[in-house]
Amino acid sequence: MKKEITWFGRKVILACDEKCNKAWGINCRPENPANYLSDDELEEAPIDPGTYEGGHAKPCPGEEKGN
């Protein structure tokens, strides 16, 4: 998905792979001792992993993407 947004007063294109089922959030994402795991190496994330940005959680199934 690509969406034009205004970010700090400038128009930018936001791109998303729409893999919300793999979205853990930076603070809850599983990792191994060497480095972070790729999405393909991860199990599916919980519907609500408990991570929020600006008070917004990841979209739930059926909700509009790009919230």
pLDDT in tens, the chain (67 residues): 898 999 999 999 989 888 888 888 777 777 776 677 788 888 888 888 888 877 878 877 777 766 6
- 62 part of a folded domain: no
Query: Residues 52, 24: contact at Cβ < 8 Å?
Result: no
- Alpha-carbon gap, residue 67 to 60, rounded angstroms: 10
Q: What is the pLDDT of residue 9?
A: 96
- Say which DSSP state 8 is in: T
The number of domains in the chain is 1
User: How far is Cα 15 from Cα 47, in angstroms, rounded to an integer?
Assistant: 21
Output the DSSP codes for 14-51: EE----GGG---TTT--B-SSSBPPGGGSPPPPS--S-
In a domain, 34, yes or no: yes
| Residue 33 located in a structural domain | yes
Supply the range of the domain harboring residue 26: 22-56
pLDDT reported for residue 7: 92
